[in-house]
Structure 1
Amino acid sequence: MSKSSTTGSTSAAGIRWNLGDYYKSPKDPAIERDLKQALEQALAFEKKYRGIFTKKPPVSGKMLASLAKDYEAVCALRDRPHYYAHLLHAEDSQNPAYGSLLQQMQQRSTEISKHLIFVNLEWCAVDEKTAKKLLADPACARYRHYLEAARRYKPHQMTEPEEKIVDEMANTGSRAFSRLFDQMQGAGKFTVNLKGKDREMSKEVALNLLYDPDREVRKAAADGLTAGFEQMVKPLTFIFNTLVTEHATIDRLRSFPDPMASRNLGNEIDGRTVEALLETCDANYPLVARYYRLKAKLLGLKTLYDYDRYAPLAGGLPKCTWKEARALVSASYHSFSPLVGKIVDEFFQKDWIDAELRDGKRSGAFSCSGPVEVHPYILMNYTDSMRDVSTLAHELGHGVHQYLARKQGYLQCDTPLTVAETASVFGEMLTFHRLLDIQKDPKVKLALLCAKIEEAFATVFRQACMTRFEQQVHASLRKDGELPTEKINALWMEANKAMFGDSVKLTDGYAFWWSYIGHFIHSPFYCYAYSFGELLVLSLYSLYRSEGKAFVPKYVELLTAGGSESPETLVRRVGLDIAKKSFWKKGIDLIAEMVQEAEGLAAKLAAGPRKAKA
């Protein structure tokens, strides 16, 4: 059989970002200049502020604010070269020069950080009464939330020498294995047999074939992906085990009570609230099965296999070129807010987006915030599908959020993960409803509705399912030690079967599909933030539809606030209470309404046009 190779050619060919706002090139002398200056500033910072909280006279609120401002400046300068190296490595993980640069930046960053570690430890050592008095000083207003949040880590801190060791060892531990995972994924080639010919392609192109209308193509793509995942699974199992073991070690050293506790602390969310979210998702898994039974009926299939889940409906969604996607997404944001629309246009006009398909390029999509004096950059892999239009809207939502939040400064521009998905999913909703409103063909409307339901399922239920899988993996490793591939596969299948019930038949090969999901490697327990964000956005969008333009300033204010307040406080600004279990159910009820609408539209189409009475 003949074999051909492709990374896939799409209308986004040539759409590459220009990283010149960071540095001119990897050899730009400004990189070394910034690193040297950051180290000098860190040394000066340490000399000026070490021991300040125990010296006489007592530190004032003005001095604490000065400390925070200087700390922010050092951190921003330290991280700028690292962000640049990260983006270069994402655009081509197979370039050894980029890999080398990333490793160097990690090491240099660690060297600078050694002189900064003391500050959080000493700040957390300040007694509660003194800390409250300092934080109440108006001089500390800008940094108040950051300083308050830092003290929440007090029970989990180690000594300064230990903190330095942990940070430095991460370069040859978690950071190294995360990089290895990315390189393996970027180098991965998958052989898919299409009409008797073996075609070698990237993972992104193969995954996109799961949306093909031809069932044989979908099955061939799934078979090719499974074979590729299985071929790589042994080293990926080792990487996963290593990082889960390291996670357990760090939790033990820092006295975290369970594997999710550190993530919840970083997200500024109570573990009980997260469990309420997950339990609400668990309890509503039957909604997933209900929809996929409808999908099987619409496709005319007796059995819906895992590779059929994303099959388009007959007469369904058309392809969408990059130019069309740009116009649609831009118009969607402009119709919501001219201010937001103008920010979105900057991403296109100033080459802040990398969208073409390339060998070695990181899979998936992300928006990278970076230092506040630069701007966000977006990476995605555009394949001309309507699904990628949604991804573009999603990442631009992140970009807008990051762009606006720069006003809070480097220490408070980033939001906890739970709120980080707010603007991205809201952007998807804006684009979806614009598409739905302009569409006249009921078949296309049904296809759009089904696609949106599937996105909601992927964002709410699938992410909750993946979180349950992670919980089981971490718990099993802590109980039984290193897990073989077969055990991880079994836990993956168990979690997915709980979600799909009897509505989807999972093939044996699907057991290996945990192995390409980067969040398990890079950001343990990240996934529930997607569920959180989607259900939050459904409530926000409901408010927008009822309040109209009066909602827009409140929403922009919410985004501009960045991480300057806790998620609960931020959301309360627009009248929502995430602490209540009923809040999560309300969001799922809105998804159920979409499923009901799809069922009704499908029934009308099945009945055919009504005949006029004689």
Structure 2
Amino acid sequence: MEAEPQTKLTGAENVAWDLSDLYASPDDPAIERDIEQINQRAEAFGAEFRGKVASLDPEELYEAIHEYEAIDEESSKAAYYAHLLWSTDTNNPKYGALNQRMTEWGAQLSQKLVFFELEWTNAPEDYAAKMIENPTLQHYRHWMETTRRYQPHRLTEPEEKILAEKAVTGSEAWVRFFSEFMGAMRYPLDGQQLSQSQILAKLYEPDRELRRHAAAAFTDVLREKLPTLTYIFNTLAADKASNDRLRHYPTWISARNLSNEVSDDVVDALIETVTSNYGIVARYYKLKGQLLGLDTLYDYDRYAPLPAAEGSYSWDEARSVVLNGYQRFSPAMAEVAGRFFNDNWIDAALRPGKRSGAFSAQTVPSVHPYILMNYTGAARDVMTLAHELGHGIHQYMYREQGMLQGHPPLTTAEMASVFGEMLIFTDMMQREDDPRVRLAMLAHKIEDTFATVFRQVSMNRFEHGLHNARRDEGELTSDRINEIWMGTQRAMFEGSVEMTDDYGVWWSYVPHFLHTPGYVYAYAFGELLVLALFARYRQEGADFVPRYLDVLRMGGSDWPEKVLAPMGVDLTDPTFWQEGIREIDALVAQAEQLINEIG
């Protein structure tokens, strides 16, 4: 029998979040009480406003939207609690059952409320224009505007109800199955059974044979499960194609762009700018191969540390580094960040069955965000902590906008998280004197930036190929999906990294492709946006900070281009993305300069 892995202690072993600000336990009677009260409010809402939305005066419409928002918040509180609890142990049947119950109840509740958005969306143009301009309704202006854009893609109320009902046992069920299936998988390595987070962490080890064996072990398990994973991907791609067809979206990405509040032209300009600069990636990895003394860099060598790589960080050290970095930028941000630690809003411990990766969940405005991560003590985990705290601070600050207009679209939702990473990285670099360690830190940052910009766009190109092939060719074989994946990944490296055949199956573990199709370009959007903003911060210093905090407080209460205008950003300018690319190029040039200094 293979043993459970022996993991170095970091001090994060008991760092678990306290969800009692939502509910006391999965058996908390308040859950049932709230469900009953919310159902009653939804029934009363329908009785009062169904069939009347387009005839309400401004005060009545404000009252209706306000109550709709309140029902949304109260119901989301229960749904978030169930999801967060399940995320800590996806193999716990009790947690899974509660999460599923909330999903089913949410679908039933949405059927009672769907009339409201439909009636507003289909209201006559002259009426809608008057309401949007009315001073009484200014708080909800952006929600009113964005909701109206979906008119060409809305179906009738009975059809919308059917889609909501069937999604519970359709796409949502498949996504849950994927999460639990992957959460239960273990990867044998050197007599130990590793979780996904633990085996992928081996790719950052200095021992090349360990990296190679870890990659092979990860691949072997994925290959064994590939028939199931291929079926899941095919099923969800077909489900998306069906929904897009029913809702008259012209392309696979159209719904995501609409949700992100950006035009197809802006996204196309982003993709074109990134793919046309893949040469920066090749330039860096050729340099890294020389630094490592390797004639050929393989895919499992991409994240190999340089010889003077940073050491590990205890949880307390990571906390200190991150809070100090935020403090130097803005005491107000540091104060919010401190609450995540002091009030137990973070779950960082490694546990069997816990969801891999990291996220910050906004929950609801009347509570606060929660952060999940899997802390191993590596330097990259410090950056992950900085990243998720950036999300958390952003989410905490935009609570004042309310449930309907707080959360920004995905394109600007990554802004605060990536900016937080840049703050902490810059702070750590400034305090490091050893040029070899500085080079190792810089290499780590460059590789993270590549992963956020170039790799995410290459994955967007994979999604583009996958969804179009599924629609044109029918059900895809594993080999066909492998082919699409390898074509898009090899393009990014331009021959600087040898992609092994094993890497061909690594598309199969990426959850974003399934639970949020089209999401990944938002990472590149956020990173390039932040690199441009950070250049402005370097120029302006303290004067930059209050404007930036104002942007965070706005959340999703206005169009992204209007939110960012005070920062001197013009998202409609197709050349804007080149500003961020220049900053990436400068990072690589900085690494080259450090190499010359070291000799």
Shift in Å, 1:7: 7.0
Shift in Å, 1:9: 4.4
Cα distance in 1 for partners of 2:465, 2:551 equals 35
Which of 375, 399, 402 aligns to 1:409? It is 402
1:32-431 equivalences under 5 Å are: 32-54=32-54, 58-193=55-190, 198-431=191-424
- Secondary structure (helix, strand or coil) at the match of 1:367 reads strand
Cα distance in 1 for partners of 2:88, 2:7 equals 16
Cα distance in 2 for partners of 1:7, 1:514 equals 28
- Amino acid in the other structure paired with 1:448: M
The answer on whether the counterparts of 2:413 and 2:526 sit within 8 Å (CA) in structure 1 is yes
Shift in Å, 1:94: 0.4
- Secondary structure (helix, strand or coil) at the match of 2:426 reads helix
- Cα deviation digits, residues 152-211 of structure 1 (max 9, x gap): 000000000000000110100111001001001110100123xxxx32111111100101
The answer on whether the counterparts of 1:568 and 1:578 sit within 8 Å (CA) in structure 2 is yes
The RMSD of aligned alpha carbons is: 0.9
Cα distance in 2 for partners of 1:439, 1:262 equals 45
Cα distance in 1 for partners of 2:224, 2:22 equals 38
Matched with 2:2 is 3
Cα distance in 2 for partners of 1:441, 1:560 equals 39
Cα distance in 2 for partners of 1:272, 1:426 equals 25
Cα distance in 2 for partners of 1:527, 1:559 equals 21
The answer on whether the counterparts of 1:371 and 1:410 sit within 8 Å (CA) in structure 2 is yes
Matched with 1:15 is 15
- Amino acid in the other structure paired with 2:376: T
Cα distance in 2 for partners of 1:229, 1:602 equals 38
Shift in Å, 1:8: 3.2
The answer on whether the counterparts of 2:462 and 2:484 sit within 8 Å (CA) in structure 1 is yes
- Cα deviation digits, residues 552-588 of structure 1 (max 9, x gap): 1111110100110011111112111011121101100
The yes-or-no answer on 1:494 pairing with 2:510 is no
- Cα deviation digits, residues 215-250 of structure 1 (max 9, x gap): 011111111111111112111111111111000000
Shift in Å, 1:87: 0.3
Matched with 1:612 is none
The answer on whether the counterparts of 1:421 and 1:533 sit within 8 Å (CA) in structure 2 is yes
The answer on whether the counterparts of 1:353 and 1:378 sit within 8 Å (CA) in structure 2 is yes
Shift in Å, 1:72: 0.2
- Secondary structure (helix, strand or coil) at the match of 1:449 reads helix
The answer on whether the counterparts of 1:8 and 1:201 sit within 8 Å (CA) in structure 2 is no
Cα distance in 2 for partners of 1:246, 1:9 equals 43
The answer on whether the counterparts of 1:16 and 1:353 sit within 8 Å (CA) in structure 2 is yes
Cα distance in 1 for partners of 2:232, 2:460 equals 18
Which of 577, 580, 589 aligns to 1:584? It is 577
- Amino acid in the other structure paired with 1:10: L
The answer on whether the counterparts of 1:7 and 1:201 sit within 8 Å (CA) in structure 2 is no
- Cα deviation digits, residues 474-514 of structure 1 (max 9, x gap): 00010000111111011110000000111000111000111
- Amino acid in the other structure paired with 1:306: D
The answer on whether the counterparts of 2:394 and 2:416 sit within 8 Å (CA) in structure 1 is yes
Which of 444, 456, 464 aligns to 1:463? It is 456
Shift in Å, 1:122: 0.5
Cα distance in 2 for partners of 1:280, 1:260 equals 18
Which ranges in structure 1 are unaligned for 5 or more consecutive residues? Answer: 608-614
Cα distance in 2 for partners of 1:353, 1:39 equals 31
- Amino acid in the other structure paired with 2:130: K
Shift in Å, 1:418: 0.1
Cα distance in 1 for partners of 2:88, 2:98 equals 13
Cα distance in 2 for partners of 1:107, 1:172 equals 9
1:510-529 equivalences under 5 Å are: 510-529=503-522
Shift in Å, 1:361: 0.1
- Amino acid in the other structure paired with 1:171: V
- Secondary structure (helix, strand or coil) at the match of 1:200 reads strand
Cα distance in 2 for partners of 1:290, 1:39 equals 59
TM superposition score normalised by structure 1:
0.96
- Amino acid in the other structure paired with 1:253: L
The answer on whether the counterparts of 2:53 and 2:116 sit within 8 Å (CA) in structure 1 is no
Shift in Å, 1:65: 1.2
The answer on whether the counterparts of 1:93 and 1:182 sit within 8 Å (CA) in structure 2 is yes
Matched with 1:30 is 30
Shift in Å, 1:130: 1.3
Identity %: 47
- Secondary structure (helix, strand or coil) at the match of 1:563 reads coil
The answer on whether the counterparts of 1:418 and 1:529 sit within 8 Å (CA) in structure 2 is yes
- Secondary structure (helix, strand or coil) at the match of 1:3 reads coil
Shift in Å, 1:363: 0.2
Shift in Å, 1:466: 0.2
Shift in Å, 1:78: 1.3
Cα distance in 2 for partners of 1:103, 1:597 equals 50
The answer on whether the counterparts of 1:7 and 1:358 sit within 8 Å (CA) in structure 2 is no
- Secondary structure (helix, strand or coil) at the match of 1:378 reads strand
| Number of residues of Structure 1 aligned to a counterpart in Structure 2 | 598
Which of 532, 539, 559 aligns to 2:532? It is 539
Shift in Å, 1:601: 0.9
Matched with 1:480 is 473
The answer on whether the counterparts of 1:146 and 1:411 sit within 8 Å (CA) in structure 2 is yes
- Amino acid in the other structure paired with 1:323: D
The answer on whether the counterparts of 2:203 and 2:301 sit within 8 Å (CA) in structure 1 is yes
The answer on whether the counterparts of 2:53 and 2:61 sit within 8 Å (CA) in structure 1 is no
The answer on whether the counterparts of 1:93 and 1:362 sit within 8 Å (CA) in structure 2 is yes
- Secondary structure (helix, strand or coil) at the match of 1:213 reads coil
- Structure 1 window deviating more from structure 2 (77-86 vs 460-469): it is 77-86
TM superposition score normalised by structure 2:
0.99
Matched with 1:611 is none
- Structure 1 window deviating more from structure 2 (107-116 vs 40-49): it is 107-116
- Cα deviation digits, residues 256-293 of structure 1 (max 9, x gap): 00000000000000011101100111100011000000
Shift in Å, 1:357: 0.5
1:430-449 equivalences under 5 Å are: 430-449=423-442
- Amino acid in the other structure paired with 2:155: M
The answer on whether the counterparts of 2:391 and 2:413 sit within 8 Å (CA) in structure 1 is yes
Which ranges in structure 2 are unaligned for 5 or more consecutive residues? Answer: none
Shift in Å, 1:516: 0.8
